Amino acid sequence: MANAQTKALKTKEKQEVMTPAEQTRPGAVFTPSVDIFETEQKITILADMPGVKADDLNIDLRDNTLTLLGEIAPVEGPDEEDVLIEYETGKYFRQFTLSEVIDQEKIDAQLKNGVLRLTLPKVEKATPKKILVKAE
């Protein structure tokens, strides 16, 4: 792990979202890089969304589909002229299908330094019920 911490970072192109249907609103849409890990009690998702404010972030969970949508406000001043542009900004969008049952009440989302930390606690497993077959 110590080795991995000190290696030089390589540039990674932002991945634009490829959808079969066109967006209704113009502008680029990117896929945020994520780490997803799971323990017995919860699933945690870390997503890189630089430039997204907490108010502009939408997290939606329904029918086992988790949707992350982050909107970006332009940071450039009105009188600025581009000299060198290496990256583009745009919305962040990504969807995941969750197979586990999530306790929706206890979902926790934190946004810090452009990284979203989403904690999804699993529903306590119901104790297996024995079903009696009645004989007539």
Contact 109, 41 (CB under 8 A): no
Span of 37-45, 60-68, 101-109, 128-136 interacting with another protein by CB under 8 A = 37-45
Of 20, 24, 63, 76, the residue at the interface with another protein (CB under 8 A) is 76
CA distance 86 to 81: 14
Q: Can residue 37 be called a binding residue for another protein (CB under 8 A)?
A: yes
Q: Can residue 126 be called a binding residue for another protein (CB under 8 A)?
A: no
Residue 71: name the closest of 57, 85, 83 by CA: 57
CA distance 135 to 120: 43
Q: Which residues bind another protein (CB under 8 A)?
A: 1, 4-12, 33-40, 44, 46, 48-53, 75-77, 79-88, 111, 113-115
